[in-house]
Amino acid sequence: MSDAPQRKPLPFVANFAAGAIAGISEILTFYPLDVVKTRMQLERGRSQQGVLGSFRTIIKEEGFGRLYRGLVPPLLMEAPKRATKFAANDFWGKQFLTLTGEKKMTQNIAIATGCAAGATESFVVVPFELVKIKLQDKSSTFAGPMDVVRKVIRNDGLLGLYAGMEATMWRHLWWNGGYFGCIFQVRALLPKPETNKARLLNDLAAGTVGGLVGTAINTPFDVVKSRIQGASKVPGVVPKYNWTYPALVTIFREEGPAALYKGFVPKVLRLAPGGGVLLLVVEFTLNVFRQALGPPYI
């Protein structure tokens, strides 16, 4: 039996900082793809152009800077989002381990934890997502994030900032379940890493596959969320898109099944490698913290 000491887990602030750094890195790298995805999802009927065509049109008609319109809300969202994600993962992981009697994380528990944490996280991100979508819309006339907030509260009250809450919950639930479940499985299939470099490569591969699977599962819910949050409310008129599953049926019936995957290509181009980048940066940053803090964290 080995007498080697166990490596002490890093403090919460280190995990939180690593998650925030990774999230901001991913946003800054892939944000233009998010703008294109939203434009495609808000478009009614058959898509007129693909990803490259959308990029060309936005740059030609609106300027290069439009690809970064609405960037502030996701950047501001990153810190509370990461704090919620880590806290929720820790809380739900412990709950499911206690409930099942398992001593360590299994794939099924990882999926259940991811789903529960995703649903919890949605409560924090909805107002930021709403502001971002309204700024990314081609027809947007808002001056900036605070202009969106002021006008939404004035017209719909504080609860107006939570339009699309249910759709966001389903989107995060399915994304996190697919992502974390897939990461667990891929890591189990890959050769056991013997070096830090090999471990980082494994994390990149697992995160990329997890991002691809999560995107494939949650895109229809993302389309509905964009439609709900991008709609302009008319007094006395019931919104066309209101609840998630009826909206899925409406889009399917009126525009065909392909419409539920509008924006899938830019979404997967962002979130598949983005998932890998997230995991890679998190693990790299945590390793920097371990080296800086020294024993017993190494």
Residue 168 resides in a domain: yes
Task: Tell me the C-alpha to C-alpha distance, in Å, between residue 218 and each of 98, 172, 213, 238.
Answer: 29, 8, 9, 26
Residue 275 is part of a domain; what is its CATH number?
1.50.40.10
Task: Tell me the C-alpha to C-alpha distance, in Å, between residue 86 and each of 90, 108, 114, 240, 262.
Answer: 6, 19, 11, 36, 30
User: Residue 271 belongs to what domain range?
Assistant: 12-293
Cβ neighbors of 286 (< 8 A, separation 6 or more) are 10, 14, 15, 18
Q: What's the whole-model pTM score? A: 0.77
Q: Report residue 94: phi and psi, to 5°.
A: -65, -40
Distance of CA 137 to the CA centre of its chain: 19
Residue 91 resides in a domain: yes
How far apart (Å, rounded) are the C-alpha atoms in residues 229 and 127? 10
Handedness of CA 224, 227, 233, 239 (dihedral sign): negative
Give the burial string for 71-104 (b: 16+ CB within 10 Å, else e).
bbbbeebbeebbbbbbbbbeebbeebbeeeeeee
Residue 154 resides in a domain: yes
pLDDT score for 166: 92
How far apart (Å, rounded) are the C-alpha atoms in residues 205 and 95? 29
Residue 53 resides in a domain: yes
Q: Which amino acid would we find at residue 253?
A: R
Contact 210, 189 (CB under 8 A): no
pLDDT score for 149: 93
Looking at the structure of the chain, the number of domains it has is: 1
Cβ neighbors of 1 (< 8 A, separation 6 or more) are none
Can you give the C-alpha Rg of the chain in angstroms? Answer: 20
Task: Tell me the C-alpha to C-alpha distance, in Å, between residue 109 and each of 112, 115, 241.
Answer: 5, 10, 33
Residue 6 resides in a domain: no
Residue 4 resides in a domain: no
Each residue's pLDDT tens digit in the chain (298 positions)?
444 456 777 887 888 888 888 888 888 888 999 999 989 988 887 777 788 888 999 999 999 988 998 898 888 888 788 778 777 888 888 889 888 888 887 878 888 887 888 888 888 889 999 999 999 988 888 888 999 999 999 988 998 999 999 999 998 888 877 777 788 788 888 888 888 788 878 888 887 888 788 888 889 999 999 999 988 777 777 788 889 999 999 999 999 999 999 989 898 888 767 767 777 888 888 889 888 888 888 7
Residue 2 resides in a domain: no
